[in-house]
Amino acid sequence: MAYVAENEGDPNEGFDPKTDESEVQYYIKWKGWAHIHNTWESESGLREQKVNGMKRLENYMKKEEMLSNW
């Protein structure tokens, strides 16, 4: 499995929080892989790779949005 960060580099490299906007990334535990292989991936990168489990990510994002609104 090729990770977006490995192929294209970190999208937030050289990031200055005072002037730049970052891309939201999620820490992914890949099924069938040890925790040492966990990676930070953006939503767009996961969609490009057409990974399984996007529904789980969407549910997580909805839950986080509900908690922030509450």
The CATH number of whichever domain residue 49 belongs to comes to 2.40.50.40
Predicted confidence (pLDDT) per residue in 7-64, tens digit? 666 666 666 666 656 778 888 888 899 999 898 888 888 888 888 888 888 899 899 8
Q: What is the pLDDT, as a whole number, of residue 63?
A: 93
Domain hosting 52: range is 4-69
What phi-psi label fits residue 4: left (phi over 0), alpha (psi between -120 and 50 degrees) or beta?
A: alpha
Q: What is the pLDDT, as a whole number, of residue 5?
A: 63
Q: What is the pLDDT, as a whole number, of residue 20?
A: 58
Dig out the tokens for 57 from the structure: 């990510």
Q: Tell if the pTM clears 0.75, that is, is over it.
A: no
Q: What is the pLDDT, as a whole number, of residue 66?
A: 92
Could you give the number of structural domains in the chain? 1
